[in-house]
Amino acid sequence: MSGELVAPRRLANARGPGAAAAARRRIDEVEDRVRAWVTLLDPEEGTSGPLAGVPVGVKDIVDVAGVPTRCGSATRADAPPAERDAAVVRMLRAAGAVVVGKTVTTEFAFFDPGPTRNPWDPARTPGGSSSGSAAAVASGAVPLAVGTQTAGSVIRPASFCGVAGLAVARGSLPTDGVSPLAPGLDTLGLFAATVADVAEARAALGGPAVADPGTVRLAAWDGTQVADVTPAMQQAHATAVDRARAAGIVVDAWPVDMRRAAIDQRTIMAAEAAATIPDAPGLGPKLRELLAEGRAVPSGELAAARERSAATRAEVLEHLRSVDAVLAPGALGVAPPGIDHTGDPAMSRPWHVLGLPALAVPGARDADGLPLGLQLLGHPEREDALLAAGRHLEDLLRA
């Protein structure tokens, strides 16, 4: 592992005047090995607000005024500068945050990777599609970064890079100024060093204040019904369940079969991407494969997938009224070797299609010390309970 590349910074220690300049210095130290950034901007002084002076990285499918939004694609090499900030960037600036640059994304937020390396081991993927945002936070370049998720594009890179990541409930943050992949699935996300920092940033963007609930109730889903979860991740999940129960947290078994939802997510994503992104020369092979797959989806099959997802969502929301969150693997295991791929989003697919908020919780490690990110899934109307449960879980994982 490259320990000198892993240095996430807490919000409390990276704000105010001079914080943006400090971020630029850290980027200069590590960028040749991490390669998380597409464009860097001149540092600004901090302003007033709950995020006064906090340096922020913004995924390069999200508009920043005066900077081209290239979406990680050669087809947008000549894109003109964005005329105005995306809505979420305007909200960050209004809260006092300072945008220091654009972070690497996979091509149009799908699977064709960019150049970013995992700070824990540059020979491993950082995940995707919000690869640059997760790596920028893990490497200590910025304490906060913006990402997006359509399948597992916040949770998986957060899990691989050992940081906290929140994919907000679909529709709870505006996506104006965000280049779409599958508009019915796309949502925004935040990366930070800890769950507490993610919660603070989310509150600054209009999210709920998070208080200690006193008691927490969870359900556990180990992911094995939809994919081959590695033994190390299965052990990390089982250990988290054991520690939660030892701390007095009630942990129930999750009763809903999630297999069909995982399949429906892929169907919907492929069909919507094919209707959104032109199949132009120069696109990467993984994206072109998705677009071909999407064009072949019959309209009746797409409608059926959406109907099933709506029915599953109703069933899942009913169960989420009696627990604060579902505890699940954030990925199949640690970040796999190689940078020509971004890993498998199987642990996120069945949940994301339902529009739920998802929270990557750092703290677990494998025998070699690599991150094994777990995740919590919550009710869209109880994001405060999700974040409070995440703070409890993080404390238990780091104990």
Catalytic hit among 73, 131, 139, 153: 153
Catalytic hit among 59, 73, 130, 159: 59
Name the residue among 385, 391, 332 with its Cα closest to residue 356.
Answer: 385
DSSP letters spanning 26-46: HHHHHHHHH--EEEE------
Told to judge if 129 belongs to the known catalytic residues of this protein, a careful annotator would answer: yes
Told to judge if 153 belongs to the known catalytic residues of this protein, a careful annotator would answer: yes
- Locate the DSSP E strands across the chain: 37-40, 55-59, 98-103, 144-149, 164-167, 187-192, 217-220, 250-253, 325-329, 358-361, 374-377
Q: From residue 365, give the alpha-carbon distance in Å to each of 74, 158, 232, 241, 338.
A: 36, 13, 9, 15, 19
Told to judge if 59 belongs to the known catalytic residues of this protein, a careful annotator would answer: yes
Rounded Cα distance between 258 and 226, Å, is 7
Q: Is the peptide bond before 172 cis (omega within 30 degrees of 0)?
A: no
Q: How many CA atoms lie within 13 A of 201 on its CB side?
A: 36
Strands 374-377 and 358-361: antiparallel
Q: Is 287 exposed, middle or buried (0-12, 13-18, 19+ CB in 10 A)?
A: buried
Q: Which amino acid is at 301?
A: E
> How many residues does this entry show for the chain?
399
Catalytic hit among 73, 102, 129, 348: 129
Q: How many CA atoms lie within 13 A of 327 on its CB side?
A: 31
208: phi then psi, degrees, rounded to nearest 5: -75, 150
3-class DSSP state of 133: helix
| Catalytically annotated residues | 59, 129, 153
